[in-house]
Amino acid sequence: MDFLSAITDKKLGKPLNTQQIEYFAKAAAEGLAPDYQLAAMLMAIRLNGMNARETADLTMAMAHSGDMLEPDVGGVPVDKHSTGGVGDTTTLVLAPLVASCGGKVLKMSGRGLGHTGGTVDKLESIPGMRTSLPKEEFVDIVRRVGCAVVGQSAELAPADKRLYALRDVTSTVDSIPLIAASILSKKFAAGAKALVLDVKYGSGAIMDTMEKSLALAKTMVDIGTQAGRHVIAVLTGMDEPLGTHVGNALEVKEAIDILSGRAGGDLKQVSLFLGAQMLCASGVSHNMEEAEKMLRKNLESGAGLSKLAEMIAAQGGDPRVTEDLSLLPQAPVRRVVTAERAGIVSGMDTMRLGYIAQGLGAGRRTKEDVIDPAVGFIMHARLGDTVSAGDPLAEIHARKEDDYEQAAAAIRDTVRITDSAPCAHPLIYAAVTREGTRMMH
């Protein structure tokens, strides 16, 4: 295969044939092409797009670039995936909560991508936690415990693993075909039969318009349906961080706070909605109302928190973190950044907030960067809040004083305080299924 001619075809806006796409996936998985050629193809796809057939071909080629699991977990294996946001800690809340209700959550997660946090990075802030497991152990934990969350193994969708890392450092993250193929190839390879997709929309989302967000949701539902999976996509808001905590250990803390009943808010609300969809998609519950009641009951009883501790222990981590948050990594510099004027919090650049966390060390600028699990910030200001001069906007957790100063200045610049209230931003915009799109707001 002349890979350069395939790159040229896509550069000129021509559709790739199935053989060219299969070679692209094979080249990524087996090292048959250097990074610069793969990056050139990624950019050509980003600029010129792919049609529905190309996107489906790329998804299946990437899924079949490694092993394809058919796991026996004692139920319908269900997964949830978010297209990425800031303070989006839903997996750490809903995976154990859904499992405590009888769901079988078989979750393969990624690392941070661009301004968004990665669930694997968050989990690895727990002492001893293993996110790289042999596939047999991964499936066994799901069978016994009800949930496991792991990183991408070398055997599952290896084409995506290499392309995922390259997309992060080549500004090709925001491509509907690449996003859809990346997400679904991992899910298909890991054996998920039911899948709930959380597609973000707002200032912190990869997709910057409602039309693009809906297009991505519909693309993934269509591909999933063609592949015989039960796929639901939900459009949720990302005009401010979903949770109040941004940063790896900090987000683990917030998930534990929610599961223990100490915290609520938008993160809890979206987690319950997505969790109810997972219970319905996997056949554990027959309707959303019944499913949400099950989740709330196990939230109040502590069964969800106990299940998180069980999952952590099964994956080699220290389950005591669910009772003693001081066991999580702690940043040496913790200081509050305050509002410089009185008014109403009318907006914030959520994507920039994600990059502020990255700058503190919570994310990666290059593939080689090492994550600092302790750093990040806790947002005290939410959209619509009335603040006075000197009120706290955020508490920054930093490694050095200079890092705090830079982050504080950036947060003050990012959070807009005006004299007028913001427009209402719903948390849940729409649900997309094979039957069509239902607008929720």
3-state secondary structure of 332: coil
Burial class for 351, CB neighbours closer than 10 Å (0-12, 13-18, 19+): buried
Q: Residue ranges of the domains in the chain?
A: 3-49, 77-325+427-439, 330-418
Query: Per residue in 184-222, pLDDT tens?
Result: 998 999 899 999 999 999 888 877 789 999 999 999 999
370 three-state secondary structure: coil
Catalogue the active-site residues.
Answer: 81, 160, 167, 182, 186
Residues 343-360, mean pLDDT to the nearest whole number = 94
For 330-418, which CATH superfamily applies?
Pyrimidine nucleoside phosphorylase-like, C-terminal domain (3.90.1170.30)
* pLDDT at residue number 15: 98
Q: Which of 22-31, 62-71, 94-103, 146-155 has the lowest mean pLDDT?
A: 146-155
Averaged pLDDT, 10-19: 97
In eight-state DSSP terms, residue 326 is G
Mean pLDDT of 25-53: 97
83-131 pLDDT per residue, tens? 888 999 999 999 999 999 999 999 987 776 666 768 999 999 999 999 9
For 267-311, how does the pLDDT look when each residue is reduced to its tens digit (9 = 90+)?
999 999 999 999 999 999 999 999 999 999 999 999 999 999 999
Q: 77-325+427-439 has which fold?
A: Pyrimidine Nucleoside Phosphorylase; Chain A, domain 2 (3.40.1030)
Mean pLDDT of the chain: 93
- Residue 60 confidence (pLDDT): 95
Task: Quickly state the pLDDT bin for 367 (edges 50, 70, 90).
Answer: low
Best CA proximity match to 120, nearest among 155, 161, 159: 161
The full DSSP string for 151-166 is ---SSSSHHHHHHHHH
Say if residue 37's pLDDT is above 70.
Answer: yes
3-state SS, residue 215: helix
Q: What is the pLDDT of residues 46-93, one digit of tens each?
A: 999 999 999 999 999 999 999 998 889 999 999 999 888 899 999 999
- Other beta carbons within 10 angstroms of residue 6's beta carbon come to 23
Q: Which two tokens stand for residue 277?
A: 């969809």
pLDDT at 103: 97
415 by DSSP, 3-state: which? Answer: strand
Return the pLDDT at 426.
87
Give 39's pLDDT tier (boundaries 50, 70, 90): very high
Over residues 315-332, mean pLDDT = 98
Question: Is residue 364 scored above 80 in pLDDT?
Answer: no
* First-to-final CA distance of the chain: 49
pLDDT, residue 53, reads 93
